[in-house]
Amino acid sequence: MKKMMIAGNWKMNLLRHQARELTQEIILKIGDVKEGVDVILAPPFTALDIVGGLIAGSRVMLAAQNVFWEDRGAFTGEISPAMLMDAGCKWVIVGHSERRGILGETDSIVRKKINASLDDGLNVIVCVGETLQEREVGKTIKIVQSQVESALVDLELEDLQRLVIAYEPVWAIGTGKNATPQEAEYVHTTIHEITGSIFSQDSERIRIIYGGSVNGDNIEELLHMDNIDGALIGGAGLDADSFVKIVKLAGE
């Protein structure tokens, strides 16, 4: 069995003092969670230093929510993988549907971000998933397949365990309408087959996590599925009790 991963994506929420309070509460409550779960917090850039300082020495890892693909230069407003490493990040989230949908990130941009991040030592969570419209016309697998295949171009075998695929159906994000465990498992199994067809047995090193309105009440059933290796959490990650409950259930 692969090691479970629970990652909290705080999106554009929380001022610095709020990020401090939430992190302190999470660290306090998470205390005795088993080693079998990777726990990740992805605060906004402005709170990376505060959260990074508070989790130092704990088993919680720091992630950024976005990155640029160049190392340095005239790219106003952007942040490079090296800068994120310097700020204490071990992980970065790439290709979130809000970035694809609102900010126009394409598959080729996502791929550049993945490659630059891996090259500079960051681990990557790459998000894929279909919109409601795509789902309704039966295009779920086609969309997810092309996003996954594009993300995996140029990936070296030794980087497989440094890449996590988050299947996040766009219609389930922040809507309270999550995919049923069976719906999610169907897509995860397909992703597993796609990675298997590219990397054979080595693809077992790639974890596939689910995201979309996950909370303390629905996580258990999702995690019972064979091909679901954890979860990317939005809204429920902003509440320490809910987040810690999810982490604890993932550790059982």
Separation of first and last alpha carbons in the chain? 13
Question: Which tokens is 158 given?
Answer: 């030794």
Q: Is 234 in the site for ligand PEP (CB under 6 A)?
A: yes
186, containing H or E segment: helix 181-199
**Nearest CB to ligand PEP, comparing residues 49 and 239:** 239
Question: Which tokens is 26 given?
Answer: 């999470």
Nearest approach in angstroms of CB 26 to ligand PEP is 16
From the candidates 98, 130, 168, 185, give the one annotated as an active-site residue: 168
Restricted to residues 173-232, the positions that interact with ligand PEP (CB under 6 A) are 173-174, 211-214, 232
Instruction: Decide: helix, strand or coil at residue 166.
Output: strand
Nearest approach in angstroms of CB 191 to ligand PEP is 16
Restricted to residues 112-171, the positions that interact with ligand PEP (CB under 6 A) are 168
Q: Are 209 and 166 in contact (CB under 8 A)?
A: yes
CA–CA separation, 47 and 233 (whole Å): 18
Choosing from 124, 235, 244, 250, the residue that interacts with ligand PEP (CB under 6 A) is 235
Nearest approach in angstroms of CB 24 to ligand PEP is 22
**Nearest CB to ligand PEP, comparing residues 82 and 163:** 163
Active site residue 168: yes
Say which residues have a Cβ less than 8 Å from residue 61's Cβ, sequence separation at least 6: 38, 39, 40, 41, 55, 90, 91
Active site residue 96: yes
Instruction: Give the C-alpha distances (Å, rounded to integers) separating 31 from 3, 18, 58, 82.
Output: 18, 20, 9, 31
CA–CA separation, 221 and 65 (whole Å): 27
Restricted to residues 43-102, the positions that interact with ligand PEP (CB under 6 A) are none
The identity of residue 232, as a single letter, is L
Nearest approach in angstroms of CB 7 to ligand PEP is 8
**Nearest CB to ligand PEP, comparing residues 82 and 105:** 105
Q: Which residues are catalytic?
A: 96, 168
Which stretches of the chain bind ligand PEP, using CB under 6 A? 9, 168, 173-174, 211-214, 232-236
